[in-house]
A and B are shown apart, each in its own frame.
Chain A
Amino acid sequence: MRDKRMSLDEVVGELRSGMTIGIGGWGSRRKPLAFIRAILRSDIKDLTVVTYGGPDLGLLCSAGKVRKAYYGFVSLDSAPFYDPWFAKARTGGEITVREMDEGMVKCGLQAAAARLPFLPIRAGLGSAVVDFWDGELKTVRSPYTDADGRSETLIAMPALNLDASFVHLDLGDKHGNAAYTGVDPYFDDLYSLAAERRYLSVDRLVETDELVKAVPQQSIILNRMMVDGVVEAPGGAHFTFSGSYGRDEKFQRHYVEAAKTPESWAEFKATYLDVSEDEYQAAVRAFAEEQK
């Protein structure tokens, strides 16, 4: 069986500007931020991003790498809730958005996973979602009528086909089998199924037999058919949480505060972003020490 282990930089080497990428996790929960940090270090730009957004989208916006965003929401999940860099990109008119109902994101990923052009969904009808999509979102009329002879017209949610997907899980093997260990798988399996190239980072890389003994079988949400590259990235979801560590609330607040002025952001960027992943993790440990 293929050994799919890669480095973060090797993964980024496979990306191209202008790609449509899907980012797993949810808000500030189990986001593949080591991948995002690697993208920030690269010259990749003009990305179209599909996400249940959190600081992943914020960080990409901070570096001007997003051209278009498809999302159900953007939230940091704890005060101050609204991501500062996403807010700046929006109020600056820097990105085109295809905002949608949260359930529409799942629906669009399911359509892509099943290689369908669309799936019907009720959510979105009557709301500003239709206006956000500037004519790109159509409706579909049921060929079946109800008892009164009437047909339902529903949103035809288009497939959210992805050039690449990025997800972070707690535990995986070098072939791409991987499991979550928290309370929620989120939609990471769907992101992988919807994408052409599928990249996985894990907090801990283990042998297959250790993986299957460590978790209930139902938690192994990725199989080998769903993954092209595996990166071992301890703390790879930081400052969002993963199975073995909680959200770093102090650091997330630091991120929000740093976004307030060009000077504070330059300092944050120099310390945490213009550095390797190892240096990032060391700087984060130093930050935690200072906070004690």
Chain B
Amino acid sequence: MTDTATITRAEICVVAAAEIFRGAGEIMASPMSTVTTIGARLARLTFEPDLLLSDGEALFFAEVPAIGGKAPIEGWIPFSKVFDVVASGRRHVVMGANQIDKHGNQNLSAFGPLQQPTRQMFGVRGAPGNTINHATSYFVPKHNRRVFVEAVDIVSGIGYDKIDPENPAYRFHHLHRVVSNLGVFDFNGPDHTLRALSLHPGVSADEVAENTSFEIAGLAEAGETRLPTEEELRIIRTVLDPKGFRDKEVSA
């Protein structure tokens, strides 16, 4: 028997990350952090067996390894071919975000003015191409007002208020979920604004509101994020992450 009484916040987040991919089918899952990688692998081992998972470098895994582990491969996906997959739309990426606003605009580029920032990060990376081509979700391990802001400094990932409905080039834009250490959200609030779907066990609506710079739709009505099943806990704890890397990303 797996001990469900000791379920951690990180494990809740792993399952919420896995749920991002429910119904995804035969597409490339591209999680960009530890917890979301465990989540994508958990989805593949349970309810989404046709997901394609890469090693984050250039190989597709045929079987699902533990975090940091190796596994037999089934194919080749060098960076040049990743851009082909992006343009094809057969992908769901889960990126991080230094900032995210209520319409889903995201920043991982830099803070401050474009040509003379106050703090430099990565640049826009693949965020513009990801968000306009295929399903995109975000994972925020420390939900606070510095991340959930009124307005992002630099729009790397595009939000719903950037869509030109007259231009069919925007028709593939879809922001699916935001998972944080406090809850699960989507953009189905009024005018495609951030809406609470569920809060993790032990998290109050006040706590979320205090840690967000804008009003979140449906916060009072949001239910509780589901717990991992015994089978999911077993896979997380003994198969995918026996060393507990998930706790380094999400504490408490």
Q: Which one of A6-14, A145-153, A204-212 is at the B interface?
A: A145-153
Q: Is the interface of B mostly helix, strand, loop or mixed?
A: loop
Contact string against B for A residues 77-116, beta-carbon threshold 8 Å, 1 for contact and 0 otherwise: 0000110001100111100110111111010000000000
Known contacts A122-B129, A126-B163, A184-B58; A101 and B120 CB within 8 A of each other: no
Q: Which of A91, A101, A104 contacts B119 (CB 8 A)?
A: A91
The 3 lowest CB-CB distance pairs between A and B, nearest first, are A123-B129, A126-B162, A93-B116
Q: For A96, list chain B residues within 8 Å (CB).
A: 115
- Is there an interface contact between A122 and B132, defined as CB atoms closer than 8 Å? yes
Q: Which of A122, A128, A151, A154 contacts B124 (CB 8 A)?
A: A128
- Is there an interface contact between A128 and B156, defined as CB atoms closer than 8 Å? yes
Q: A residues bordering B, Cβ < 8 Å?
A: 26, 53, 71-75, 81-82, 86-87, 90-93, 96-97, 99-104, 106, 121-129, 131-132, 146, 148, 150-154, 183-187
The count of chain B contact residues (Cβ–Cβ below 8 Å) is 47
Query: A121-B129, A183-B57 known; 7 other A-B pairs, CB under 8 Å?
Result: A90-B117, A91-B116, A101-B125, A122-B87, A126-B163, A152-B167, A152-B169
- Is there an interface contact between B169 and A72, defined as CB atoms closer than 8 Å? no
Q: Which of B57, B112, B170 contacts A126 (CB 8 A)?
A: B170
The answer to whether the Cβ of B114 comes within 8 Å of any Cβ in the partner chain is yes
Residue of A nearest to B119 (CB): A91
The answer to whether the Cβ of B184 comes within 8 Å of any Cβ in the partner chain is no
The answer to whether the Cβ of B43 comes within 8 Å of any Cβ in the partner chain is no
Known contacts A81-B122, A122-B87, A131-B114; A152 and B128 CB within 8 A of each other: no
- Is there an interface contact between B120 and A26, defined as CB atoms closer than 8 Å? no
Q: For A92, list chain B residues within 8 Å (CB).
A: 116
Q: Which of B79, B156, B169 contacts A122 (CB 8 A)?
A: B169
